[in-house]
Amino acid sequence: MRSLPLLALVAAVLTVPAAAQPAVDRTAGLLRELADAPGPPGFEEGVRRIVVREVSPLADKVSYDGLGSVIAQQGTSGPKIMLDAHMDELGGVVRRVTDTGFLSMQMLGGWLDQALPDQRWVIIGRNGPVTAVTGIRDVHVVPADERTRVFPRDSLYLDIGARTRAEVAALGIEPGDPVVPDAPFSILAGGQRYLGKAWDDRVGIAVVIEAMRRLRSQGHPNQLFVAATVQEEVGLRGARTAADLIKPDIGIAIEGGITGDSPGRNPEETQAVLGGGPGIFLYDSSAIPNRKMVQLVAYTARSIGVPLQRDLVQGYGDDSAAIQATAGGVPTVNLVVPARYTHAHNGIIDRADFDRTVDLVVAMIRRLDAREVARLRDFTP
């Protein structure tokens, strides 16, 4: 066989037929849109627009708390079930502009310092998005004893290519503007694993939307309040204010979980694996779930054939902690879609885990009639 000229060979390699690309169904499209939307704590507007668009046709009423959380009510009688996921993601905010056109950044949420250098970011200024990068020192000039050092976040600056403070202003950027990771959604090899930013907790937002969609057609015996909350990453704030308005009888938080199946992990950190099904947190640093709720989740999962991963995680907080401390005390549980590499630019989820989590949530809510809720809330010895 005659060999192709070099340019022709390169062109053949780079030309991928459209049919070879993984298909994107409605659910994958929603996950893509949610993951790509900018929304650090206090700046959730872009995510809120998507949520309101999706839940409005499914709800009897849509309202908001005073911080901007979305509360979509479905059903007008029966126990009040609060199904929660938070809209915000890890990000930052422009803190200061230097005379030479660099920007310092106040981080929002629980970032690791080693995840920050040499990363692309998007600043949402008044004239639209602006691409930035956190710089990194050149290896050729870094002394040998500093090459393995983690440099603190306060030593990092955003570089947008500007040369002066005036050029930054001309781009519509000023202190207080939100900053988010630049990490576009992508479908990985095999078509069943999704790469993207903000799975904590856009995957939870997608779960509650899809669960609400299914429950609209299947029905349920309660008042369902789907709460898409704000500012979880900086103190569980929106869950508290939303729960103050809802006054739920039961609370279910949906989160992006943590996996321990990548190389080099301590098995005591977490036991969950990608593709192993939804998870339930038996403990985290902010909340201990209601024991009867844990038993109900396990029973429901078995009854519908969904594998359930049990986990205990230190250094983790979730909205169920804020919900359970309102209205005189609310039985709560935190369910998770496992995710690799959370609280960083790029995370991975498994589509089967997502679908099974929706199955579990729908089955749970359909079981939570007045009798079952009364049982869960009964602490009589």
Q: What is the C-alpha to C-alpha distance for residues 165 and 103, in angstroms, rounded to an integer?
A: 9
Tokens of 81: 């079930």
Terminal-to-terminal C-alpha distance of the chain: 83
Q: Is 84 assigned to a binding site?
A: no
Residue closest to 31 by CA, chosen among 44, 15, 47: 47
DSSP annotation string for 6-35: HHHHHHHHH---GGGSPP--HHHHHHHHHH
Q: Is 343 assigned to a binding site?
A: yes
Q: What is the C-alpha to C-alpha distance for residues 248 and 373, in angstroms, rounded to an integer?
A: 11
Residue 257 is given by DSSP the state -
CB-hemisphere CA count at 13 Å for 226?
Answer: 30
Question: Is 232 known to be catalytic?
Answer: yes
Q: Are 381 and 304 in contact (CB under 8 A)?
A: no
Q: Is 140 assigned to a binding site?
A: no
CA distances for 364 relative to 70, 79, 165, 215, angstroms = 22, 13, 55, 11
Identify the active-site residue in 33, 167, 232, 269: 232
Binding-site members for Zn(2+) are: 86, 200, 233, 255, 343
Residues annotated as part of the active site: 232
